[in-house]
Amino acid sequence: MDRKYEAVGSERAVSALSELYSRYGYARFKMSKFEEYDLYARNKNFLRGDSIITFTGSGNRLMALRPDVTLSIVKNARSGAPSEKVYYTENVYRESKDKDEISEIMQVGLECIGEIDLYQTGEVILLAVQSLAALGENYILDISHMGFLSALLDEIGAEGDVRDALIGCIREKNAHGIAAIAKDAGIKGEAASRLTTAATIYGPFADAIGRLRAISVGAAEAAALDELEAIHTVLDAAGCADRVNLDFSTVNDMSYYNGIILSGFIEGIPNAVLAGGRYDNLLHKMGKTGGAVGFAVYLDLLERYNTAERGFDADILLLYDESTDAAELTKAVKMLSESGKTVRVQRSIPEGFRCHQLLTMKEGGLHILETND
């Protein structure tokens, strides 16, 4: 089968990402399965989805199975300390869409909390790019800047429900919606036009930054674009700038996020498999000083892709018999697995087993018996 894109499985992803983050000096963060419900209730807008599974703990405290890891990391961060760099591989718990069962989802991510400068921000974005590279062959990281969008909205006086509605339209790249809301709110045409332009800008940095400069009229907007240009320089030095696009429809909750926003995609999966950004506001809401930037990788999306799209239990089913040399078989399996293939080795074909290729190990090496599309 000719596949444009082949995702790795979640177990291999956890191993590859953990090794990547460790190489950059990020320490493993371990946490309890439970937190007090109040932590999540006070920060529902920060969560991906609104599903919080609760139970009554000792002392009649209302507890929750964790739906998120970042909140616990921030809660335990030391205020005013030099940059803390941690990564996590933890299960999070959410109700399924039909509310009849609990989903246990493996989530991997990292956080950098404390003194956040250009290098620290660039390093996190670089690791986001490298995380996507570890997950699939064809990928792209979209970035935007909440400071730029916030400044645009401030300049036109968009507040409350109007501001929220405009953010929703920006997220959807809905130019007609932006124009209609602006008209109803009495926002002048030129100001509304700048919002529409920002929402529809997408593409490589060199192409997009000039268009953003053209609609920048304030110091706060210019500062945000200056930061984006500096980050692009760092990514260019790392050799990965061509994997990063500017996309100002990438928007998160402004009450938590205040700077760079990240959204990562790999071919074949319609939703972002990586998301994050700069979230100093969350840190300050929880009584901490300093800054924070990080991201999470949603491995449940990889699992859904592998199950629904690939339709195979393994890439290769390798058959052997009593005459097969065990050492040669071991070498063949090692070679296939190191090429990125999933390999199942059996004496016979398991009932109902689905594979892309059926191979056999005979004298002289591997032989293809069957290839399935």
Q: What is the pLDDT of residues 199-238, one digit of tens each?
A: 888 999 988 999 999 988 889 999 999 999 999 999 999 9
pLDDT at 59 over 90: no
- Measure the CA–CA gap between 43 and 38, rounded to whole angstroms: 9
Are 70 and 106 in the same domain?
A: yes
Q: How confident is the model at residue 6 (pLDDT cuts 50, 70, 90)?
A: very low
Are 252 and 346 in the same domain?
A: no
Q: Is residue 353 part of a domain?
A: yes
Q: Is residue 2 part of a domain?
A: no
Q: Is residue 1 part of a domain?
A: no
**More confidently predicted of 41 and 278:** 278
The number of folded domains in the chain is 2
Are 107 and 215 in the same domain?
A: yes
Instruction: Give 309's DSSP letter.
Output: I
Name the amino acid, one letter, at 303: E
Q: Is residue 250 part of a domain?
A: yes
Are 214 and 331 in the same domain?
A: no
Q: Is residue 3 part of a domain?
A: no
Are 99 and 22 in the same domain?
A: yes
Tell me, yes or no, if the pTM score tops 0.85.
Answer: no
Are 338 and 304 in the same domain?
A: no
The domain boundary, picked from 286, 308, 330, lies at 308
Are 37 and 148 in the same domain?
A: yes
- pLDDT at residue 307, rounded to an integer: 45
The domain boundary, picked from 264, 279, 308, lies at 308
- pLDDT at residue 305, rounded to an integer: 62
- pLDDT at residue 303, rounded to an integer: 67
Closest C-alpha among 266, 291, 265 to residue 279: 291
Q: How confident is the model at residue 1 (pLDDT cuts 50, 70, 90)?
A: very low
Task: Write the DSSP string, 71-132.
Answer: HHHHHHSPTTPSPEEEEEEEEEEEE-TTSSSEEEEEEEEEEEEE---HHHHHHHHHHHHHHH
Closest C-alpha among 113, 93, 109, 48 to residue 292: 113
Are 217 and 317 in the same domain?
A: no
pLDDT in tens, 284-335: 988 889 999 999 998 877 766 654 445 678 889 999 998 898 998 999 999 8
Are 166 and 111 in the same domain?
A: yes
- pLDDT at residue 43, rounded to an integer: 81
Full domain range(s) for residue 38: 10-308
Positive or negative, the CA dihedral 75, 76, 77, 79 is: positive
CATH, residue 151: 3.30.930.10
| Residues counted in the chain | 373
Tokens describing residue 299: 């491995």
Are 335 and 217 in the same domain?
A: no
pLDDT in tens, 61-106: 888 888 888 888 988 888 766 789 999 998 888 776 655 677 777 8
Q: Is residue 185 part of a domain?
A: yes
Q: Is residue 5 part of a domain?
A: no
Are 324 and 345 in the same domain?
A: yes
Q: Is residue 4 part of a domain?
A: no
Are 296 and 344 in the same domain?
A: no
Three-state SS at 290? coil
The domain boundary, picked from 290, 308, 326, lies at 308
